[in-house]
Structure 1
Amino acid sequence: MRTLAVAALQTSPVPHDLEATWERYADRVRAVRATFPHVQLVVVPELLLAAEAPLLQARSDWMHEAAVTVPGPLTDRICALARETGLWLVPGSLYERAGDGRIHNTAIAVSPEGEIAASYRKVFPWQPYETTAPGGEFVVFDLPGIGRAGLAICYDGSFPETARQLAWLGAEVIIQPTLTTTRDREMELVCARANAWTNQVYVVNVNGADPAAVGASAIVDPEGIVRQQAGGGEEVLVDVLDLDAVTRVRTHGSAGLNRPWEQLARYGSTIHLPAYGATFQPVPR
């Protein structure tokens, strides 16, 4: 079995206090390591280390103050924490100041060796409320001996192109840090289940805890079944994902019946997609 033991840590920052938030994050990661020694990957909510405040306390200039370079001093600290704990870390997302001066909402994945394995700029910022510059490509990364994961951030999940492209790139699990402060969280959970089912992948969607957000983090399996869902407060969802289940479901179908990914592989190249000016391309091998 190819298994990935994950800890989705639903927590909150210390608003507008970058150093205190870092200390809280590092302490929580170390606590997960000590309490759940089998865990391999820890993911936290979107913009946690940016110490973003709750929606109605947010400051329009904060992202400029909190923005960092990637790589840079903050990612160096994250890499050191990964080496110390021996964990894969997806530390939510950061405000990244790019070389052209634009600020992106960026998620990174750091290996247990302390290397940045992937860096992903949010393609679909929540407009008009989120003013970061959008990224232009989707990103996956390999966990050696385990499988391949894709990165998405919050509102990305509302666009079916996100999960479809990540699955096409070989992702078997989508890691999706989220910071949802509003009552549309229920719709996001619908999207998480739909993205998992239609692409036959796991989705790990970790939201911020109250008061930073409304919680309800969830882990969904490749058949669209919710394995775990959190409440509103600080909580950790620990699960062991069987990535061979992705292969099983794609081979034999969801509920032993439905095989959408196989059907796309068979007929996709003959289907004209006018919205994209293209056809569905065969999955790369």
Structure 2
Amino acid sequence: MSRQWRIALVQARPASGDDPVAELAADVGAIMTARPDTQMIVFPEIHLHGGVDAAADPTAYLEAIAEPLDGPLVRALGSVAAEHDVWLVPGSVTERDGDRIFNTAVVFDPTGEMVASYRKVFPWRPHEPWASGSSFVTFDVPDVGRMGVNICYDSWFPETTRQIAWMGAEAVLNVVKTTTPDREQELVLARANAIINQVYYLSVNAAGPLGRGQSIYAGPEGEVLAQVAHAEPETTYLTLDFDRVADVRANGTAGLNRMWEQLRPDDDPIDLPAYGGSMSEDNWHPASPATTPATTAREE
């Protein structure tokens, strides 16, 4: 059975009107009209909170709009996914949990159920107000494969994508709102994360005039599948072949490098004091999506 997946990646300006969900729903509807075979649509980081860009006090603005994941915003987003019968990643939302707010990516299946939520583990400090998440997330698409999500600055920490890949993800959705000159470095990091983990790495950034755009989508050997050369809004349509990930991991990047088969049973464990752990042959393998449930934290 082919494991192909048709995805729309939306480099868009943040929704900033009075009804951002309606703006997103209109965009989803237009995509599904133009390309009705689309199976998943992905928007940039905090796409629904464009009002923060004009706020006199951005932190106070985010504090004021934050709500728990069982609140009306998430319910409305689920309804958009269900109405259009599509997997939906509407960027990330401002999640309230007690006194803390998190930058949380949410994933909906075509029934409108929220199947995954991920709190940004590495907020861009000292510039962002978010509390730090503490676990990584994957989710399964039946008969296709396993995916994971990370957010913007997470891509600067190789531990993030490594952990998601180790949990069995074959594609990583990197939702981004980079407004600063370091987007140039992030283009390198996207390809590097794909190469060292043998995953699809799909980095969709916000459009201008505030966002830097330049979204980039890399395959499991780090090859550039598509790259937006500008900051204007643009939707990129790709068909991912998850069997390519299995092939690259089995036969090696460029037919050579099989990093996930590096360790042998007779190798001594490799101490990793920065993480309070070690690598050894019995734990240095990605989970198999076919046999291991998706989870928020994989434990041995």
Shorter chain as denominator, the TM-score bin is over 0.9
**Partner residue of 1:136 out of 134, 153, 159:** 134
Q: Quick check: 1:149–1:171 contact (8 Å CA) kept in 2?
A: yes
> Which segment is superposed worse, 176-185 or 274-283?
274-283
> Do 1:43 and 1:91's aligned partners in 2 also have CA atoms closer than 8 Å?
yes
Q: d(CA) in 2 for partners of 1:152 and 1:14?
A: 21
Shift of 1:50: 1.9
Name the CA distance, whole Å, in 1 between partners of 2:83 and 2:182: 38
- Given the superposition, is the C-alpha separation of residues 94 and 270 from structure 1 closer, same or farther in structure 2, using an over 3 Å criterion? same
Q: Structure 1 pair 248/267, CA: closer, same or farther in 2 (3 Å)?
A: farther
In structure 2, the CA distance between the partners of 1:274 and 1:61, relative to structure 1 (3 Å rule), is: same
Matches within 5 A, 1:35-46: 35-46=34-45
Letter in 2 for 1:70: L
Q: Call closer, same or farther: CA 1:74–1:151 in 2, change over 3 Å.
A: same
Q: 1:205 to 1:264 in 2, by over 3 A?
A: farther
Whether the aligned pair in 2 keeps the contact of 1:10 and 1:217 (CA below 8 Å) is yes
| 1:132-159 alpha-carbon deviations (Å, 9 max, x no partner) | 1000000000001110000100000000
Q: Measure, in 2, the Cα distance between the counterparts of 1:160 and 1:6.
A: 25
Alignment of 1:100-115 (within 5 A): 100-115=98-113
- In 2, Cα distance between equivalents of 1:24 and 1:115: 20
Correspondence 1:206 to 2:207 = no
CA distance in 1, matches of 2:267, 2:112: 39
Could you give the per-residue CA deviations for residues 216-267 of structure 1, whole angstroms, max 9, x where no partner exists?
Answer: 1111000001110112100001000000000000011111111112225878
Q: Deviations over 1:183-219 (max 9, x none)?
A: 1001111111000000000011100000230101111
Q: Give me the whole-angstrom Cα distance separating, in 2, the residues matched to 1:69 and 1:85.
A: 24
Shift of 1:40: 0.6
Structure 1 match to 2:76: 77
1:26 maps to a residue whose letter is A
Which AA in structure 1 matches 2:244? A
Q: How many residues align?
A: 282
- Match status 1:194 vs 2:199: no
DSSP 3-state at the match of 1:61: helix
Residue 2 of structure 1 corresponds to 3
Cα distance between partner residues in 2 of 1:258 and 1:124:
29
Residue 5 of structure 1 aligns with an amino acid whose one-letter code is R
Q: CA deviation at 1:86?
A: 0.8
1:118 counterpart (116, 119, 142): 116
**In structure 2, how many angstroms separate the alpha carbons of the residues matched to 1:29 and 1:174?**
21
Q: Tell me if the contact between 2:155 and 2:186 (Cα under 8 Å) persists in the aligned partners.
A: yes
Distance 1:218 1:185 in 2: 10
Tell me, yes or no, if the aligned pair for 2:29 and 2:84 is still in contact at 8 Å: yes
2:59 alignment partner, SS class? coil
| Residue matched to 2:14 | 13
The aligned amino acid for 1:155 is: Y
8 A Cα contact 1:141 1:150, kept in partner: yes
How far apart are residue 59 of structure 1 and its match? 2.5
Q: Is the Cα–Cα contact under 8 Å of residues 4 and 146 in structure 1 kept in the other structure?
A: yes
Distance in 2 separating the partners of 1:247 and 1:82: 29
SS at match of 2:211: coil
Using a 3 Å threshold, how does the CA distance of structure 1 residues 108 and 240 change in structure 2: closer, same or farther?
Answer: same
| 2-structure distance, mates of 1:269, 1:181 | 45
1:178 to 152, 176, 179: 176
Distance in 2 separating the partners of 1:162 and 1:267: 28
Residue 242 (structure 2) pairs with residue 243 (structure 1): yes
RMSD (CA atoms): 1.8
The residue identity in structure 2 corresponding to 1:165 is Q
> Partner of 1:271 in structure 2?
270
Q: CA deviation at 1:113?
A: 1.0
Q: Which runs of 5+ in 2 are unaligned?
A: 289-300
- Quick check: 1:259 aligned with 2:252? no
**1:163-202, CA deviations, whole angstroms, 9 ceiling, x for partnerless residues?**
1000000000001110000010011111110000000000
Match of 2:226? 228
Contact 1:54 1:181 in 2 (8 A): no
1:21-51: CA deviation from partner (whole Å, max 9, x where unpaired):
2222111111111111121110001001122
Identical-residue share of aligned pairs (%): 44
CA distance in 2, matches of 1:265, 1:123: 32
